[in-house]
Amino acid sequence: MTSQQKLKNKTDQNLHICVGLDTDIGKIPEHLKSMQNPVLEFNKIIIDSTYKKSAAYKINFAFYEKEGIAGLENLERTLELIPNDILTIGDAKRGDIGNTAKMYAASIFDHFNFDAVTVNPYMGIDSVEPFIQYKDRIIYVLALTSNKSALDFEKLRLTDGSFVFQSVIKKVNEWNTYKNCGIVFGATNNEELKKNISSFKNLSVLLPGVGAQGGSLEDVVKSFNTIEHTDYIINVSRGLIYADNGKKFGKVAENVLDEYNRKIASMN
């Protein structure tokens, strides 16, 4: 099954929430910290509690790389816990050129076997092309991100009056020959989303920023409903996996996910 089909199978069921496994040992429940592998145990409970109702899982490499080899082993073991029919996203934000980009792509897709990846287009097509060549995977290119300093570069105006992020979206559409490209568009940018959503065309969209960062689930869903675009997933990390710090944190996470799904269903 291709990554595109995995995702479509979920969005066809009106499942649009991507669970972000940005696991920080300092934030997990205290009762897990005495276990042999607290991070893996935490991830297992979150996955077991949410996989039936999630569209995808996104793993941010930074939260694992910081622990060196042990952290990368936890990343691999976490991937093994995720059912094969659910999209996995390697949130690595790679962005280099030439053979280096090829090696990064091989790492993400051949070694770790992620279904999708986030990449930085700052260096142009050379930094994205090696990923695109994996036709059965999804390449999410950073367009307009959810952080406040996105305006430093992404919202700079070009000589034609458009913004840099708009130029990125245009380019990604051009690169989408194999129908495996997508964009990252921060849910905190509601006005920009409404104004630019028609330019997404056939691109898959990953939207971080709902929950702890202040993005509105309802605003996102309304925007996509206006153009009947269903190929989108909304990432929720801290607001879901750390919703409770007690022994029933898995159940609480499931309840939070249920509420997100209920809201989406009520709007469709």
Per-residue pLDDT of the chain (268 residues), as tens digits, is 899 999 999 999 999 999 999 999 999 999 999 999 999 999 999 999 999 999 999 999 999 999 999 999 999 999 999 999 999 999 999 999 989 999 999 999 999 999 999 999 999 999 999 999 999 999 999 999 988 898 899 999 999 999 999 999 999 999 999 999 999 999 888 899 999 999 999 999 999 988 667 778 999 999 999 999 999 999 999 999 999 999 999 999 999 999 999 999 998 7
Residues carrying an active site annotation: 93
Residue 109 CB partners (closer than 8 Å, separation 6+): 117, 131, 134, 137
Give me the domains of the chain, ranges plus CATH numbers. Answer: 3-266 (3.20.20.70)
Q: Measuring CA to CA, which residue among 142, 98, 99, 96 is closest to residue 117? A: 142
